[in-house]
Structure formats: C-alpha cells, structure tokens
C-alpha cells in the first residue's frame, strides 16, 4: 500500500474546493495518476503539555504589525516538530468519487424540516440505495478485517454478543496528538441501525450501556487528561455514512464548523431521553430539523422542493432562489 508521502508527491493540483477560516483548513482537488484526489490540510492546535502545563511552541521569527498604548499586534513563524508539534494535519482521499467532491466543495446550506412522511418518501429510498451500493466496505474492513488495527483505541466485542460490540478509533479530523482537539468515533458492530431514525425504545438500554462505556474508557485511555463530563458525545443527522456511529469529542474543541452545531449534531444523552416519549416507533415518529448543503444528493432528490413547499404553506416568502 502506498504512503501518504508518495500520494502527495504525485498530486496534480486543479482547484480549491473550500477554505474555512474557522477551522483554518483548505481542501484541494487534483489528480493522482489521472484519478481524482482530495487533499485536506488543517493547521494544528497549539501544543500544551496537560500534565506540566508547558507550552512547547517557540518563535523562530517575529514581526510587529502595529501597536497602540498597551496593545501590540504581530505575525510569527513558529518552530515546529513533525512528531510532537506538527504545523498541519493532512488527509488524502484517493481515488475520490463525485460524492466526495460534492461533500468537500463549498456550498450553500439550508435548514430542512424532515417529517416522517418526508423521510419515507425522499430520505429512506436514498439511504437504502446508498446501503445497497456497498459504499461501506471500509467500515466492514475496520470491524472484521483488522483494517487500521494499529489506530484502534478500544474494542468491545464478545462473540456471544456481537450486537453489543463496538470499536473506537481516532477520526480523520484529529491529529492524534493534542488532547484539546481529541476526536474519536465509535462504530457499532450491529448493522440494523443506519441512522437515528432506526432507534426506538427497545434500543434504550443498549445506548445507555454504550454511553457509559465510552465515558468510562476514553478518559482512562488518555491517562485521565480529560474527565467524562468533558466529552461531547453525539451523532450526526444526516450522517456521512449510514452505519450507526457515535462521535466523541473533547468539549474544548472549537473548530469543527457545522459538525457540532445545532442542526447537525444530536447529543446521545438527548437521544436516550427522547426515547422515553416518542412511542414504540421511536424516531420514526419524530420531525427532525437539520442543516443540509445544496451539494448533497438529497437536496436535488426532493428536499429542495419540500423546503419550498413548506415555506409556501406557511406563507413565508423565499427571498432568493437556491440551486
């Protein structure tokens, strides 16, 4: 298997797909060996040793921009170390599909109100189609083929109870070094839950056990550098892939854009609580509001028209058209 260094060296730049000043990241589209590739570069968080409270960055060069009374502004070139204090985190997707390119491209965002009827007419057929196209081979590889075994943080699997098992590993968004930006993902072994829509009261005890295990082992895995109540544990809707998984993020992590915003992230504690009131069908009975981009296939496959219809029914004018 080729290394990331070899891939980046052969990368032929075509255009910038997105640039985010909040996350300090840039997404580039190009080709490697005539196949589309996406490179994401994100500046890493400042490194502080949590046990000694030592600051490991040092200034190689400083240039003053201006000053006023007791306030001074300037720019700096920091000393970096690839092992303990890298300047950026690099992700490569190759070969990249059209779905990847749409996902990482800059796009207009919209708030969608998904009723149970909208889910059944528009969203569920799309989810079933994605699932049938076997786009989750990489998930299967992690769960059953020991892919990324060297990155696994925790694995909970008993042969007699695979349904209760899960595996936890670092998300691509984390550099694996700075605890302040810790980002893990827990992927469950059971394959009957594609999203929160499939959750009902029969899953409540399973979710409680999962939640408690995460809060117990994650601090222990990182020498208790963070506490259970410093973990933001949530799921996405719509998720990036339709196999139930849970995001585990240091609550201090600020730079995730929409990933931790209302309209995207749903706290696992809130999911468990809601299952007390939603009836036997659970989230199938609930209207879910969330943010979705115009590049998402669901927007063109019916959500755009549904948003327009809902606004018209409520006599709310749309100020401008959207693609």
pLDDT value, residue 118: 97
Quote the CA–CA distance of 196 and 74 in Å, as a whole number: 47
Q: What whole-number distance in Å separates Cα of residue 159 and Cα of residue 131?
A: 25
Q: Which of 191, 197, 185 is nearest to 290 (CA)?
A: 197
What the block records as the tokens of 193 is: 């839950």
107 is in an annotated binding site: no
> According to the annotation, is 243 in a ligand binding site?
yes
Q: What is the pLDDT of residue 79?
A: 79
* Distance (Å, whole) CA 26 – CA 218: 30
245 is catalytic: yes
Q: How many helices (H) and strands (E) does the chain have?
A: 9, 16
Cis peptide before 95, with omega less than 30 degrees from 0? Answer: yes
Q: 245: annotated binding-site residue?
A: yes
Q: If 0-12 CB within 10 Å is exposed, 13-18 middle and 19+ buried, where does residue 205 land?
A: exposed
The per-residue pLDDT for 320 is 60
pLDDT at 50: 53
Q: Does the annotation place 90 within a ligand binding site?
A: no
DSSP for 246-307 reads EEEEETT----GGGGSTTTEEEHHHHHHHTTTS-TTGGGGS-EEEEEETTSHHIIIIIHHHH
**Selection from 196, 186, 191 nearest residue 166 by Cα:** 186
| Structural domains of the chain ordered from first start | 4-89 (3.30.200.40), 107-313 (3.30.428.10)
Give the three-state DSSP class for 103. Answer: helix
Tens-level pLDDT at each residue, the chain (323 residues): 789 999 999 999 999 999 887 778 899 999 999 999 999 998 887 766 655 555 555 778 889 999 988 888 898 888 777 777 788 889 999 999 888 898 889 889 999 999 999 999 999 999 999 887 677 888 999 998 888 899 999 999 877 777 889 999 999 888 888 888 899 999 999 999 999 999 999 999 999 999 999 999 999 999 999 999 999 999 999 999 999 999 999 998 865 656 667 788 999 999 999 999 999 999 999 999 999 999 999 999 999 999 999 999 998 887 665 55
Was 126 annotated as part of a binding site?
A: no
Does pTM surpass 0.85?
no
Which tokens in the block code for residue 277?
Answer: 């009131």
Q: How far is CA 266 from the centre of its chain?
A: 12
Query: Under 8 Å CB-to-CB from 295, ≥6 apart: which residues?
Result: 102, 103, 105, 107
Q: Using CA atoms, how far apart are residues 178 and 255, in angstroms rounded to an integer?
A: 13
Give me the catalytic one of 203, 245, 253, 296.
Answer: 245
Contacts of 300 (CB under 8 A, 6+ apart): none
* Residue 110 annotated as part of some ligand binding site: no
């Amino acid at each position: 298997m080729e290394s990331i260094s070899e891939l980046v060296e052969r990368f032929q730049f075509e255009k910038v797909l997105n640039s985010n000043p909040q996350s300090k990241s840039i997404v580039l589209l190009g080709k490697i060996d005539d196949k589309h590739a996406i490179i994401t570069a994100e500046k890493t968080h400042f490194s502080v040793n949590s046990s000694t409270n030592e600051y490991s960055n040092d200034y190689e060069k400083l240039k003053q921009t201006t000053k006023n009374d007791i306030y001074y502004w300037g720019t700096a070139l920091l000393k970096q170390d690839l092992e303990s204090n890298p300047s950026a985190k690099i992700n490569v997707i190759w070969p990249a599909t059209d779905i990847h390119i749409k996902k990482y491209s800059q796009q207009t965002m919209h708030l969608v109100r998904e009723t149970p009827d909208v889910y059944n007419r528009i969203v569920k057929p799309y989810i079933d189609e994605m699932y049938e196209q076997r786009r989750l081979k990489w998930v299967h590889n992690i769960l059953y083929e020991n892919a990324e075994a060297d990155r696994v943080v925790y694995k909970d699997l008993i042969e007699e109870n695979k349904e209760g098992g899960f595996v936890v590993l670092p998300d691509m968004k984390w550099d694996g070094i700075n605890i302040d930006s810790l980002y893990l993902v827990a992927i469950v072994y059971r394959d009957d839950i594609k999203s929160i829509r499939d959750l009902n009261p029969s899953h409540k005890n399973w979710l409680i056990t999962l939640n408690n295990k995460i809060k117990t082992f994650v601090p222990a895995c990182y020498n208790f550098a963070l506490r259970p109540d410093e973990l933001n544990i949530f799921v996405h809707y719509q998720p990036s892939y339709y196999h139930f998984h849970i995001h585990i993020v240091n609550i201090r992590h600020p730079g995730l854009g929409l990933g931790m915003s209302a309209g995207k992230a749903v706290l696992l504690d809130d999911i468990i609580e809601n299952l007390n009131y939603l009836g036997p069908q659970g989230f199938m009975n609930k209207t879910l509001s969330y943010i979705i981009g115009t590049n998402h296939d669901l927007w063109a496959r019916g959500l755009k028209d549904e948003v327009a219809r809902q606004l018209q029914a409520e006599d709310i004018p749309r100020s401008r058209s959207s693609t």
